[in-house]
Structure 1
């Protein structure tokens, strides 16, 4: 497998992981709506903030790696 093909395969895996994580976090937020009545608005808001922080910490490094420019060396003349 060529290096460009490897980079593309890794990029696709990162993108898939981001999609999977987004789905997990969306499900967690959906459950929070149901939980608010049980634990109260303040506790639900605190948990929401923790989940948002967790989501950011999980996804940002993956996105940064995808957006990182590919540095190549010039070919021999």
Structure 2
């Protein structure tokens, strides 16, 4: 989802719209925008993967899984 939002923000630069304005304002070519968008998207993807791995490792750790039958109180 973040990659899509970043794409919408960087859409004019990625598509090459407003090239003259971007070059005049920054002195850089618009192709830089594509590389930056890809780099930020890859960084967010890696951060998400690390967070997912940490959550999996934490839930895989000691003790029975939450919600198992052994944890529920008995009815009389």
Q: TM-score range by the shorter chain?
A: 0.3 to 0.5
TM-score of the superposed pair, with normalisation by structure 1: 0.47
Which protein, 1 or 2, shows the higher relative CO under an 8 Å CA cutoff with sep ≥ 6?
1
* Structure with the higher fraction of residues in helix conformation: 1
Rg comparison, structure with higher value = 2
